[in-house]
């Protein structure tokens, strides 16, 4: 199967570009009270005017809302907009990215099933698949990321799906979606890709044959470090299965959060253009510093998956991971010397954030356990915001110089 051509400016219905759709998709032309923005329908329940309307809803399928856990008008606009941006038939949104991940997995498996996940997946996703899900009689095989032979061999007749990420956290590894699709089709299994780091602007896995795409909308989609949200997107039949369980589990997103997500999406394309450019500039700067041991960024030729990234992606995001020389002590000095960048464990917002995975995400692991996962003492993850890139680089530069100085 030949590789599909991914447009640098994905167009939706009517040929509209991504930025236009990020502002308008999913909304009716005429809105309540003639508001330009989608209103926040802040209610937990919905009123029936009489018993006839109840029966029209329960027996005849009248389209309307009943209870907040089953849907909300503000939520529906957010789902329609995200589906449009991702090129999906349907979407369901959640109160967090992990709620989206967990509900999706539970909706698709039964006791006795088997799943395959790569070892470079997000820590909490990996923990859920390799530990908690087995309590329900579901087996899980963890395979090394990028070892497609091991991935192929891991699939058996009970395998329900293969789950991974692209790019991954923190090394920004890129999954060859063509090879994933070939393996999945041969075995007749589903594929799930967490595309949070890529966003629909930089990568659209559904166009490459992936069945379901997951996003932590907390990150680039909302873009302001002020909400928690998640989404799962794909063909309607699969999304309906997930939505049914979602209603029972109750990991819903509130209307005000949906409003903030919609607000963030209006500047989504503009922000991503800046963060793509700044991410690449920061990566090139870091790669040229003698105090930096190695840089991981899929837009750099030095990245092991540079070729795949060039084929599958139209941009490479704002996350840059690097190793600083001097070990943990130098890493701490570097982080403590930063004046513009905030030390915080997230990404995708307008503020530049930086984190030390070993001290934050893997603080409860032994050093040996961390190193087995590739989480070294000198590993740092930078997530550029939308500040002037020269200011970001200047802050990195002065902090790197401080890191080289020994404390008196």
Reply yes or no on whether the pLDDT at 1 is more than 70.
Answer: no
The pLDDT tens digits of the residues spanning 141-157 come to 999 999 999 999 999 99
Q: Using a pLDDT cut of 90, give the percent of the chain over it.
A: 87
DSSP H helices in 156-208: 177-187, 199-202
Separation between Cα atoms, residue 218 and residue 368, nearest integer Å: 31
**Average pLDDT estimate for 171-180:** 97
Q: Where are the alpha helices (H) located in 147-299, listed in sequence order?
A: 148-154, 177-187, 199-202, 236-249, 255-265, 268-287
| 293-332 residue pLDDT tens | 999 999 999 999 999 999 999 999 999 999 999 999 999 9
Instruction: Give the tens place of pLDDT for each residue, 5-59.
Output: 333 444 455 579 999 999 999 998 888 888 999 999 999 999 999 999 999 999 9
Dist. CA 122–CA 345, nearest whole Å: 13
Phi-psi region of 317 (alpha: psi -120 to 50; beta: other; left: phi over 0): left
Percent helix, strand, coil in the chain, to 5, is: 45, 15, 45
Average pLDDT over residues 124-140: 94
pLDDT, residue 373, reads 72
For the whole model, what pTM was predicted?
0.93
- Give per-residue pLDDT as tens, 242-280: 999 999 999 999 999 999 999 999 999 999 999 999 999
The pLDDT assigned to 295 comes to 98
pLDDT, one tens digit per residue, over 325-383 is: 999 999 999 999 999 999 999 999 999 999 998 887 766 677 777 767 778 899 999 99
Assess contact for 342 and 336: CB atoms under 8 A: no
Radius of gyration for the alpha carbons in the chain, expressed in angstroms and rounded: 22
Give me the sheet containing 90-94, strands edge to edge.
90-94, 230-234, 212-216, 190-194, 159-165, 114-118, 139-143
Nearest in space to 344 (alpha carbons), one of 356, 333, 336:
356
What average pLDDT does the structure give for the chain? Answer: 93
For residue 295, report the phi and psi dihedrals to the nearest 5 degrees. -125, 140
The full set of domains in the chain, from first to last, is 13-265 (3.40.640.10), 268-401 (3.90.1150.10)
Shortest CA distance to 302 belongs to which of 291, 210, 316, 351? 316
Q: Is residue 73 pLDDT above 50, yes or no?
A: yes
What does the DSSP 8-state code read for residue 63?
-
Q: How far is CA 322 from the centre of its chain?
A: 20
Sign, CA dihedral 386-388-392-393, equals positive
Q: Which residues contact 143 (CB under 8 A, 6 or more apart)?
A: 116, 117, 118, 119, 150, 151, 154
* pLDDT at residue 12, as a whole number: 52
């Amino acid at each position: 199967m030949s590789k599909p051509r991914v447009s640098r400016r994905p167009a939706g219905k009517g040929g509209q570009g991504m930025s236009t759709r990020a502002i308008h998709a999913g909304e009716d032309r005429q809105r309540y009270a003639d508001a330009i923005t989608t209103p926040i329908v802040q209610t937990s329940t919905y009123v029936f005017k009489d018993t006839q309307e109840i029966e029209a809803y329960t027996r005849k399928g009248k389209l309307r809302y009943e209870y907040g856990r089953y849907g909300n008008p503000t939520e529906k606009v957010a789902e329609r907009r995200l589906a449009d941006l991702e090129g999906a038939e349907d979407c369901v949104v959640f109160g967090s990215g992990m709620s989206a991940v967990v509900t999706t997995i539970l909706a698709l498996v039964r006791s006795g099933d088997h799943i395959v996940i790569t070892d470079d997946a997000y820590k909490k996703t990996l923990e859920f698949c390799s530990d908690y899900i087995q309590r329900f009689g579901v087996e899980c095989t963890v395979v090394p990321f990028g070892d497609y032979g091991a991935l192929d061999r891991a699939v058996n007749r009970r395998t329900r799906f293969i789950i991974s990420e692209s790019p991954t956290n923190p090394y920004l590894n890129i999954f060859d979606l063509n090879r994933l699709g070939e393996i999945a089709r041969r075995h007749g299994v589903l594929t799930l890709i967490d595309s949070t780091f890529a966003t629909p602007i930089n990568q659209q896995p559904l166009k490459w044959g992936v069945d379901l795409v997951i996003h932590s909308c907390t990150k680039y989609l909302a873009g302001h470090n002020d909400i928690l949200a998640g989404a799962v997107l794909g063909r309607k039949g699969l999304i309906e299965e997930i939505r049914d369980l979602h209603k029972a589990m109750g990991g819903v997103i509130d209307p005000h959060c949906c409003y903030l997500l919609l607000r963030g999406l209006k500047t989504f394309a503009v922000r991503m253009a800046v963060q793509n450019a700044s991410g690449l500039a920061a990566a090139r700067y870091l790669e040229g510093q003698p105090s930096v041991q190695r840089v991981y960024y899929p837009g750099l030729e030095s990245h092991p998956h540079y070729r795949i990234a060039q084929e599958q992606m139209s941009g490479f995001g704002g996350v840059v991971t690097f190793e600083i020389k001097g070990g943990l002590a130098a890493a701490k000095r570097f982080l403590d010397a930063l004046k513009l960048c905030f030390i915080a464990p997230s990404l995708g917002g307008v503020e530049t954030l930086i984190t030390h995975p070993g001290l934050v995400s893997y603080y409860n692991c032994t050093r040996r356990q961390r190193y087995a996962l590739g989480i070294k003492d000198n590993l740092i993850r930078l997530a550029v915001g939308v500040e002037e890139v020269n200011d970001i680089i200047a802050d990195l530069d002065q902090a790197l110089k401080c890191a080289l100085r020994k404390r008196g």
